[in-house]
């Protein structure tokens, strides 16, 4: 176990999960981009099902690898407000807080609720509509 210098807040990108390992690559790239942009924020991925690690294991790993974590921000990388967000996440948040009473665990609104993402997608679609078609 390698412990790095003191961090107070860590990030967990939470996705649904998939049996296809390629599905995880964009989320892993997001976590890597966070660490690259802000090395003082440890970041990792976790999944609700079909992939590992689950959220508890991801938090345990962050705690083992980084000293001084007091707060964990869980960012659901979901576009829609489906059953997982409405039903599973509140229950997961309560379970995690009980498992890690020493931490302040904060769940953010889902990615799809972010006005900046909505605007970015709109801009990308407009650009695609105004340009000649390109092959996939």
pLDDT at 82: 80
Tokens of 96: 């995690």
Q: Where are the domains of the chain?
A: 9-130
Please list, residue by residue across 63-85, b when 16 or more beta carbons sit within 10 angstroms of its beta carbon and e when fewer do.
Answer: bebbeebeebbbbbbbeeeeebb
- Check pLDDT > 50 for residue 64: yes
pLDDT at 134: 77
pLDDT at 2: 47
Residue labelled with tokens 């078609």:
133
9-130: CATH number: 3.40.50.1400
At 1, is the pLDDT very low, low, confident or very high (cuts 50, 70, 90)? very low
Query: Residues 123-135: pLDDT tens digits?
Result: 999 999 998 877 7
pTM of this structure: 0.88
Could you give the 3-state DSSP secondary structure of residue 119? helix
Averaged confidence pLDDT in the chain: 91
* Residue scoring higher pLDDT (3 or 95): 95
Task: Decide if 62 contacts 30 (C-beta within 8 A).
Answer: no
Query: Residues 65-118: pLDDT tens digits?
Result: 999 999 999 999 999 878 878 888 999 999 999 999 999 999 999 999 999 999
């Amino acid at each position: 176990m390698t412990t790095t210098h003191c961090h107070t807040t860590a990030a967990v990108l939470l996705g649904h999960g998939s049996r296809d390992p390629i599905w995880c690559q964009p989320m892993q790239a997001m976590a890597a981009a966070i660490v690259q942009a802000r090395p003082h924020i440890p970041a990792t991925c976790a999944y609700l099902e079909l992939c590992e690690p689950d959220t508890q294991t991801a938090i345990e790993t962050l705690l083992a690898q980084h000293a001084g974590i007091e707060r964990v921000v869980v960012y659901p990388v979901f576009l829609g407000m489906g059953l997982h967000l409405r039903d599973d996440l509140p229950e997961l948040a309560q379970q995690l807080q009980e498992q890690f009473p020493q931490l302040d665990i904060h769940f953010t609104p889902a990615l799809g609720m972010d006005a900046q993402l909505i605007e970015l997608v709109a801009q990308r679609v407009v650009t695609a509509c105004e340009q000649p078609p390109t092959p996939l």
